[in-house]
Structures are given as C-alpha cells and as structure tokens.
C-alpha cells in the first residue's frame, strides 16, 4: 500500500468500529500482537482485496496515534474493554 491508502484504510477501519457493535466486539477479542490476524480482520471488515502487511499496519498505527485520536476516543467511549488497546493502533500492542 502507499501512504494515502494506508491512511484511508486506517481511518476507514476506525470509522467501521464506531459504526458496528459486532465489529467492535470481535475486535476486542482479537489478539493485537498477531499481525496476520489483525491484517485479516481489517481485510474482512473493510472488504479489501488483500490484508495489510506488517509494514502497512505499523504505518497505519503511527497515523492513528498521531492524527486520529479524536476518532479513537469515540471508539473507546463505546466500550471500556477496548480502551487499553484501541489507541495503540488498535493493532500492534495490547495494553
């Protein structure tokens, strides 16, 4: 993915979590340290042709942490169980 695609996927994924309680619940149960599982979940959730790579996930994580914190707070407000691992892209670290 290029940088624009990574940012769009990251923003779209955060948005999808705010729109779907089912996706948020499934996300809450997913091990965030398993890059393959995280990539597959993002692919499934957004209907992507391919799962994001580990490099994509790392870049998306940086973007979420630097530019999408207001959206992350919106996700966190929906479910206290995601508070500890949504903000860390919600992906690469489990709090």
pLDDT averaged over consecutive 10-residue blocks of the chain (95 residues)? 94 88 87 91 96 94 78 69 48 42
Q: Which tokens sit at 48?
A: 């992507």
Inter-axis angle of helices 3-19 and 54-67, to 10 degrees?
70
Alpha-carbon gap, residue 35 to 54, rounded angstroms: 6
Measure the CA–CA gap between 83 and 1, rounded to whole angstroms.
28
Q: Which of 44, 37, 29, 47 is nearest to 85 (CA)?
A: 29
CB atoms within 10 A of CB 67: 12
Q: What is the pLDDT of residue 87?
A: 42
Whole-model pTM: value is 0.78
């Amino acid at each position: 993915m290029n940088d624009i695609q990574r940012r769009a996927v990251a923003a779209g994924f955060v948005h999808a979590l705010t729109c779907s309680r089912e996706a948020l619940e499934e996300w809450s149960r997913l091990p965030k340290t398993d890059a393959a599982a995280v990539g597959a979940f993002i692919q499934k959730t957004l209907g992507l042709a391919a799962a994001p790579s580990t490099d994509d996930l790392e870049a998306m994580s940086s973007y979420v942490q630097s530019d999408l914190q207001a959206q992350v707070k919106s996700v966190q407000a929906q479910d206290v169980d995601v508070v500890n691992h949504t903000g860390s892209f919600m992906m690469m670290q489990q709090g």
